[in-house]
Amino acid sequence: MTHEGDLRALLFDVDGTLADTEEAHRHAFNAAFAAAGLDWSWDRELYRRLLAVAGGRERIRHYVASAHSELLSRPDLDGRIAALHADKTRRYGEMMAAGEVRLRPGVARLLAEARDAGLRLAIATTTSRENVDALLAATLGPEAVGWFEAIGAGEDVPAKKPAPDIYRWVLARLRLPAQSCLAIEDSVNGLRAAAAGVAVVIAPGFYTANEDFTGAVAVVSDLGEPDRPFRLLGGDAHGRRWVDVGLLRRCRVRQGG
Ligand code: XBP
Ligand code: MG
């Protein structure tokens, strides 16, 4: 039998969930392309389609295959993609350090409430550890990285979301069963990655708003604040108007029970 206290850990996605980072990623990709003398430019509509491919290097390769397939036979292609992505990561870090991205509503509050309640925290993302550290430091301060007991990033697993690898990696690090955890995600790639036993609350963003979130325990416009409630887009929020630990415990029970 499942009890309310069964929720032990919150697992956070990063891009689109902690913050709306994808515009910063897109600008960093485009700046890296321009600096390399390429006339590639990803507008929002194209980027929305490219986001189906998780991971920056994988996304560049997919773009090359679909838009510049004549380059696929170049022997130095892997190196060129790696160099482009390294430059993109450097530029993204500069944008984070400059304070260009803010946390989504309710994120800082929920992290503080979860820590007060003794919930364990972890991160499950496809972006790099370097990008995670840059975002956490810029938005929550240098000590925030230490709040998360496990930080699973793109380089930690062979297959990125929607593959379940990163959630399995984090659960193994926490030594917890999926049924004791709840994930907060913004995309269908994240939902699929987490769905094998981990209950998922979705707060979609600009790029993921039209995705199919069937299977999520709740879909909310954002995590909300007491003075700025979320809009419930799907699932059950048990009458609550912002995402707090009490709501997440009930979501976990609903899923587990
Ligand atoms: C986010 C991503 C990431 C970023 C780019 O997915 O797909 O690839 O767009 O990051 P999620 P890198 O939020 O599901 O983790 O360039 O560092 O790969
Ligand atoms: Mg995401």
pLDDT digits (tens, 9 = 90+) for 39-48: 999 999 999 9
pLDDT in tens, 166-197: 999 999 999 999 999 999 999 999 999 997 78
**Hey, what are 148's tokens?**
């998360």
CA of 103 to the centre of ligand 2 (A): 13
> What distance in Å separates the CA atoms of residue 73 and residue 7, rounded to the nearest whole number?
50
* pLDDT at 196 (0 to 100): 74
* Pick from 7, 8, 11, 18: nearest CA to 205: 18
CA of 6 to the centre of ligand 1 (A): 30
- Beta carbons of 213 and 196 less than 8 angstroms apart: no
What single DSSP character describes residue 225?
A: B
- Beta carbons of 199 and 255 less than 8 angstroms apart: yes
Whether 1 shows a pLDDT value over 50: the answer reads: no
The proportion of the chain whose per-residue pLDDT surpasses 90, expressed as a percent, equals: 94
Whether 3 shows a pLDDT value over 90: the answer reads: no
* pLDDT at 2 (0 to 100): 45
- Band (255; pLDDT cuts 50, 70, 90): low
Q: What does R_g of the chain's alpha carbons equal in angstroms? A: 18
Task: Give the amino acid at 131.
Answer: N
Mean pLDDT to the nearest integer, 121-149:
97
* pLDDT at 5 (0 to 100): 45
Whether 141 shows a pLDDT value over 70: the answer reads: yes
* pLDDT at 104 (0 to 100): 98
Whether 29 shows a pLDDT value over 90: the answer reads: yes
- Beta carbons of 183 and 194 less than 8 angstroms apart: yes
Verify whether ligand 1 is closer than 6 Å to residue 20 (CB atom): no
Verify whether ligand 1 is closer than 6 Å to residue 189 (CB atom): yes
- Beta carbons of 169 and 157 less than 8 angstroms apart: yes
> How many Cα atoms occupy the beta-carbon half-sphere of 84 within 13 Å?
26
CA 183, 188, 189, 194 dihedral sign is positive
> What distance in Å separates the CA atoms of residue 101 and residue 208, rounded to the nearest whole number?
18
CA 239, 243, 247, 248 dihedral sign is positive
CA of 153 to the centre of ligand 1 (A): 9
What single DSSP character describes residue 211?
A: S
- Beta carbons of 182 and 200 less than 8 angstroms apart: yes
* pLDDT at 195 (0 to 100): 78
3-state secondary structure of 39: coil
Phi-psi region of 124 (alpha: psi -120 to 50; beta: other; left: phi over 0): beta
**Mutation choice for ligand 1 from 127, 156, 188, CB with most ligand atoms inside 8 A:** 127
Task: Give the amino acid at 56.
Answer: G
Whether 257 shows a pLDDT value over 60: the answer reads: no
Closest residue by Cα to atom 16, ligand 1, is: 56
Mean pLDDT to the nearest integer, 74-98:
97
Residue 19 neighbours by CB under 8 Å, 6+ apart: 101, 102, 103, 104, 107, 135, 139
The pTM score is 0.94
pLDDT in tens, 96-111: 999 999 999 999 999 9
* pLDDT at 254 (0 to 100): 56
Whether 119 shows a pLDDT value over 70: the answer reads: yes
> What distance in Å separates the CA atoms of residue 147 and residue 131, rounded to the nearest whole number?
16
